[in-house]
Structure 1
Amino acid sequence: MSMLGRTAQNLFWLSRYVERAENMARLLEVGYRMSLTSRREGGASEHLISMMRAAEVDEAFGATGRQADLDTVAHYMMFDAGNPSSVYSCLMAARTNARSVRTAITIDMWESLNAGWLEFSQIKPRDVRGAKLLGLLSWVKQLSHEFRGALLGTILRDDGFAFSQAGNFVERADNTARILDVKYYVLLPRAKMVGGDLDIQQWTLILRAASAHRSYLHVYHDRYKAHNIADFLMLRPEMPRSLIFCARYIEDTLDSLAGIYGKRQECQEAAAQLCAMVSNTNMETIFAHGLHEFLTEFIARNNRVSETLSASYNFY
């Protein structure tokens, strides 16, 4: 018997919102640390705006008329209920979805998410600045890890698990592409910086945002190089936040749904196309044709996976 479309939708978006809360924290950390490295007048604001552009919240932030300083941007990304991608909005949406499918998730999943939400909702935004902001960003990532651990350790490996995992990796793929795109936006006006100390420092921050700086050194045994960092975050299949790892996981997960329901649909084809995009290329080709263009196309194809999954399994 097939799962109800509403239940499948709630499980998919529950996982997406938890992952998105973590990813907003990761993006904000990149913007924050990059703004600290900037020595140019107005540079800090530029880094923060590029981070919001990658998250596709820059226009909405601009419409508020507020100045793009660190405290204001951090509040917008963390606590603003009017920003649907803020950590506050994501955690609230995740909890709402979880409450709608209490019988389809485990007690451990619900308790980890509910306790996290209650703790986050007690935080006073005005108290979160400087080192306390970095501490809170780490806490958000930890909350996501706890929920993910509860899911992986307790949920049945059925269609509910498949929809949950699809949501997680569709969101993660989107975020890794956006974190890489922050780099593109930061360097775009200043080609002379490419390969310089600041360039490498920013690429290193990108690795840290993906919790990948130590594993990078384990794989490459080398100093940080832009080509290798991009390769690690895009085309290394053993790196769990890389584009190719996520795309392969999405394809396998959607294939498992086809097996469960005995029918392949449009979403399986969309997942296969996403996977082929990162499987049949190399970094030389990507850089030659444009990193930003490649990432934009990848994000669009990843979005198509989500849209066709929704249509194929009657989300509403």
Structure 2
Amino acid sequence: MLARTANSLFWMFRYLERAENTARLLDTGLRMALTRDVVSAEEEWRSVILTAGQRSGYEAKNASYTGMQAWNYVLRDKDNPSSVLAMLGNVRSNARQSRNVITGEVWEAVNDSWLHISEMLERPVGEQRVGEVVAAVRRAGTLTHGAVIGTMLRDQSFHFARAGTFIERADSIARILDMKYYLLLPSLSYVGSSLDTGQWDTVLRAVSGDRSYRWLNAGQIDARGIVEFLVLDERFPRSLSYCHTALRENLAALARMRGSEGQSNMLMRSADISLSERTIDSIFDQGLHEFLRQFMASNAAIGAAIAEDYRFLS
């Protein structure tokens, strides 16, 4: 496979996953802000912008953190290169560049979703429509991933697409958990203690884990249990452990097809061993914030190694 085609597939699915997780983050911010007073609601929208990594650009254009300003900046602002609209545009552009290796169903899912969502975002989004837009973005991810699973050969194209998906998903989940956990704590001395049930419920909703977690834990919500679920539970498809297991398998498949392993495989093994040896107690002993920052740095190094191994940058 040509390096530029592999690069297009890898980044097509990174951008798709990033757009979907940004939409999930907006949905969570909306739910939390609606239950708070004006000052607390602005703090919630501030945390959304911070988690999305868009603070500097946002504050260059806006003096406050109202809901309308926040979600329109994240969804559609023409000066925001990381807006959902821009990310979905990148998904479509990369899909076009890799048309020869994706199926017609995958292209249709991407193109139809782009046309529908770009039309929805032609004008500012009001409070009555933001939920509809967020749902459409999440649906775009579901449709595209479904088309990949249901129609693509398990060849290099498939594995580059899935590698992009899981490396981005792991990063997004770690960022949501880190920022939410860090901002919700009134003091570092509260690490591991019980926090407001409603706030932690929104963290689970952000990653579509609320029903699974409640089923596994008889409806009991506590910070420690949620961290263990989102980091270590291999049964949940958005946990860090699940993402790294899936990423390892896809990188191993690519190495077999190429006939040799690269730096990404070695880094993946090291990261996998490190995570598999973790317990919830060891994570809290180290400090959740420190653990997640270390995880994100390792994840980013694997992503850079994939690009080097398969000559994305050449």
**Where on the TM-score scale, by shorter chain, does this alignment land: which range?**
over 0.9
Query: Which residue is 2:238 aligned to?
Result: 241
TM-score by length of 2: 0.94
Q: C-alpha deviations, 1:203-247, integer Å up to 9, x for none?
A: 110111111111112212241111111111110000000000001
Q: C-alpha deviations, 1:112-150, integer Å up to 9, x for none?
A: 110111111111465522242122211211111001011
Query: Which residue is 2:176 aligned to?
Result: 179
**Cα distance in 2 for residues equivalent to 1:241 and 1:32:** 21
| Inter-CA distance 68–256: structure 2 relative to 1 (3 Å threshold) | same
Are 1:300 and 2:297 matched, yes or no?
yes
TM-score by length of 1: 0.93
Match of 1:47 among 35, 44, 47: 44
Are 1:107 and 2:104 matched, yes or no?
yes
Are 1:34 and 2:41 matched, yes or no?
no
1:188-227 to 2 correspondence within 5 Å?
A: 188-190=185-187, 195=193, 199-227=196-224
Query: Which residue is 1:90 aligned to?
Result: 87
| Inter-CA distance 278–119: structure 2 relative to 1 (3 Å threshold) | same
* Greater Cα offset, 116-125 or 250-259: 116-125
**Cα distance in 1 for residues equivalent to 2:203 and 2:19:** 18
Matched residue type, 2:291: F
Q: Shift in Å at residue 38 of structure 1?
A: 3.0
Matched residue type, 2:222: K
Question: Contact 1:47–1:186 (CA<8 Å) still a contact in 2?
Answer: no
Q: How many percent of aligned residue pairs carry the same amino acid?
A: 38
Question: Contact 2:28–2:202 (CA<8 Å) still a contact in 1?
Answer: yes
Q: C-alpha deviations, 1:57-83, integer Å up to 9, x for none?
A: 112212224421110110111112322
Q: C-alpha deviations, 1:143-172, integer Å up to 9, x for none?
A: 110010111111111111110000000111
Question: Contact 2:72–2:124 (CA<8 Å) still a contact in 1?
Answer: no
**Cα distance in 2 for residues equivalent to 1:81 and 1:293:** 35
**Cα distance in 2 for residues equivalent to 1:273 and 1:200:** 36
Q: Shift in Å at residue 33 of structure 1?
A: 1.9
**Cα distance in 2 for residues equivalent to 1:51 and 1:282:** 29
Matched residue type, 1:15: F
Query: Which residue is 1:279 aligned to?
Result: 276
Are 1:13 and 2:6 matched, yes or no?
no
Q: Shift in Å at residue 278 of structure 1?
A: 2.0
Q: Shift in Å at residue 189 of structure 1?
A: 4.1
* Greater Cα offset, 124-133 or 54-63: 124-133
Matched residue type, 2:120: I
Q: What stretches of structure 1 of length at least 5 have no aligned partner? A: none
**Cα distance in 2 for residues equivalent to 1:151 and 1:235:** 26
Give aligned pairs, total. 312
**Cα distance in 2 for residues equivalent to 1:16 and 1:209:** 18
Matched residue type, 2:218: H
Please give the secondary structure, in 2, of the residue aligned with 1:122.
Answer: helix
| Inter-CA distance 55–124: structure 2 relative to 1 (3 Å threshold) | closer
1:136-147 to 2 correspondence within 5 Å?
A: 136-147=133-144
Matched residue type, 2:87: C
Query: Which residue is 2:148 aligned to?
Result: 151
Q: Shift in Å at residue 277 of structure 1?
A: 2.9
**Cα distance in 2 for residues equivalent to 1:278 and 1:245:** 11
Query: Which residue is 1:135 aligned to?
Result: 132
**Cα distance in 2 for residues equivalent to 1:147 and 1:66:** 37
Q: What stretches of structure 2 of length at least 5 have no aligned partner? A: none
**Cα distance in 2 for residues equivalent to 1:244 and 1:205:** 21
Q: Shift in Å at residue 177 of structure 1?
A: 0.6
Question: Contact 2:120–2:133 (CA<8 Å) still a contact in 1?
Answer: no
Matched residue type, 2:287: G
| Inter-CA distance 125–49: structure 2 relative to 1 (3 Å threshold) | farther
Match of 1:312 among 293, 309, 314: 309
Query: Which residue is 1:255 aligned to?
Result: 252
Match of 1:265 among 245, 251, 262: 262
Query: Which residue is 1:74 aligned to?
Result: 71
Matched residue type, 1:33: R
**Cα distance in 2 for residues equivalent to 1:222 and 1:65:** 40
**Cα distance in 2 for residues equivalent to 1:220 and 1:131:** 34
**Cα distance in 2 for residues equivalent to 1:222 and 1:118:** 40
CA-atom RMSD, angstroms? 1.8
Match of 2:285 among 284, 288, 310: 288
